[in-house]
Amino acid sequence: MGPWVDHPPNPLKKSECSGSQSDPGGPLCTTITGRLSENHHAELRSVPLQGYVMKDTAPGQKRVKNAETGPSSEESPRSPSPTGKERIIVRFSGDITTKSAPTRKRFLTRMSRNIKNALSTASIENRVSRTHTRIFVDIDSDRIDAALQLVSHIFGVQSASRVEERKWNDADDIVTAGREIFLESVRNKVFAVRAKRVGNRNAIPIDSTYVERELGSELLKSARKVSLKNPEAIAAIEILADQAHFFSHTVQSPGGLPLGCEGRAVALVSGGFDSPVAAWLLNKRGVELDYVFCNLGGRTHQLETLQVMKVMADQWSYGTRPHFHAIEFEEVTRDLQAGVTTRYWQIILKRLMMRAAEVIARERDASAIVTGEAVGQVSSQTLPNLAVISQATSLPILRPLIGYNKDEIIALARKIGTHDLSSKVGEYCALVPSRPATRATQKRIEAEEMALDPKILDRAIAERSIFDLRALDLESLDRPEIQTEKINETDTVIDLRSKNAYENWHYPKALFLEFQDAMKAYPHMDHEKRYVLYCEFGLKSGHLAELMRREGLNASHFVGGLKAITQYAKQTGAEEP
């Protein structure tokens, strides 16, 4: 599910025990013999320290300023992990830790919601709580690995670990627990100990370096040796005000900001390598996206692009519901080819796509348009051409890949999981002139666009198909039980295309019900009837037939879409379009 799984944890503390049993003169020997004697501690206790509450301090404990106030409720989990559950601790990205208190609270509330949504999507029962410094996720032990993978795909998360939780009274309690937990995992291995205080350090009277040294000397009795740089096993501890978390592995996540906390945009997508990566980078910065697809290659192109963007929706969009807006550009491109000088086709095509994206952005209350363009990658992406393309809309255009090399984009596509599907998407644009313009001017392009009929683009946008990507089951489209190649006289036939398309031609006695209206109406349909659905390519009809089946309705879709049903109408003597 991504490259952030099963990485070793980042160092929590540079200092740790080193040396080996066979090296009595090494650093380990020095740190152990360098502990304070009881008399020395007595001398320290007799020295008044201004502003500190005086307490007896056992080895490994620190004197704590204002410790009588007790630990803040924001620095400990709201409650311990329930019996029979395991706990995951979630660490935040640096972008969150630098925010003001109100902003941080808002971001963490959103991130907790996104985590719960991810786990619930996988039917993992969970309890999520949080403090100022950590989020705690409690789940059943048999789902721990799946939960860690899901959490690693939540934006705003820097890393996560499965932890064992223990209460403590003093530093030696932590050392004893660490020995019990880690002794076997480091046996005959090269290891390191890393301890860190987390939260309000004034409420944690523990010296983490003491814990590292003492636990290191205990574990070294079964381990091979210590290595700061290349350990085979890690004994890591996060020390809170009243308990400690012990863990051996950390799952790295992409960081960034929680998805949905930085507003909404729309992304122009084609299914290739660039646009999904650009979308992912904006998701990483907390921007919720809908996707706009201008279809140049019919059913195959739309299905391929849906598959790519469904990966983005299913694996990276937890807490949101991205919609896929598919606009048929066949008539738009015919109008363009008929009226525009060939060398300007690509530039004007991109401007038309920008206008389509702007219409949808305003409908969806989105603040910007995202593209996968990079300077100089193709002829339409020279700096002069990009400037002219940008003038087609008044909305900001965000181009996160603007300075990326192609190999960098492909590497990111591999990491986010879209590479293999994107590599199969064909090149469907036939509007590639042999000598394209590379330095177009606004004046010339506006003159060329005078030959276009704006109503064609408006109609294409109005008649677009909209898919809820997270609810879409693409595999169901090929299920034989929801497909049909014939229509009975008693069947209720429903045409899911636009009104204009329906009025131009429809199967005899077919009812008109636009796809978006059908998605709302099907739960109220008659369970005694048999329904046959059709649309342009069989994608909308297949999706709706699957949903209707789940509702207990007898529904099928005519396989092959409009082309197939018109051929069937001809063969059976019905009207042709």
**Among 399, 391, 388, residue whose Cα is nearest residue 347:** 388
Q: What is the DSSP letter of 185?
A: T
Active site residue 535: yes
Q: Which two tokens stand for residue 232?
A: 């085979």
Q: Which two tokens stand for residue 505?
A: 């031609």
Q: Which residues contact 363 (CB under 8 A, 6 or more apart)?
A: none
Burial class (CB in 10 A: 0-12, 13-18, 19+), 407: exposed
Amino acid, res. 64: V
From 17, 261, 294, 535, active-site residue: 535
Residue whose token pair is 């007595």: 42
Please state, in angstroms and rounded to a whole number, the distance separating the CA atoms of residues 301 and 122.
Answer: 29
- Reported as type and span, the H/E element at residue 196 is strand 190-197
Q: Which residues contact 445 (CB under 8 A, 6 or more apart)?
A: 344, 347, 348, 351, 388
Identify the sign of the CA torsion 160, 161, 162, 164: negative
**Among 135, 421, 375, residue whose Cα is nearest residue 258:** 135
Cβ-contact 242, 200 below 8 angstroms: no
Torsion of CA 271, 272, 278, 284, to 10 degrees: 60
Count of residues in the chain? 577
Helix 539-550 and helix 298-316, axial crossing angle in degrees, nearest 10: 50
Q: Which residues are catalytic?
A: 535
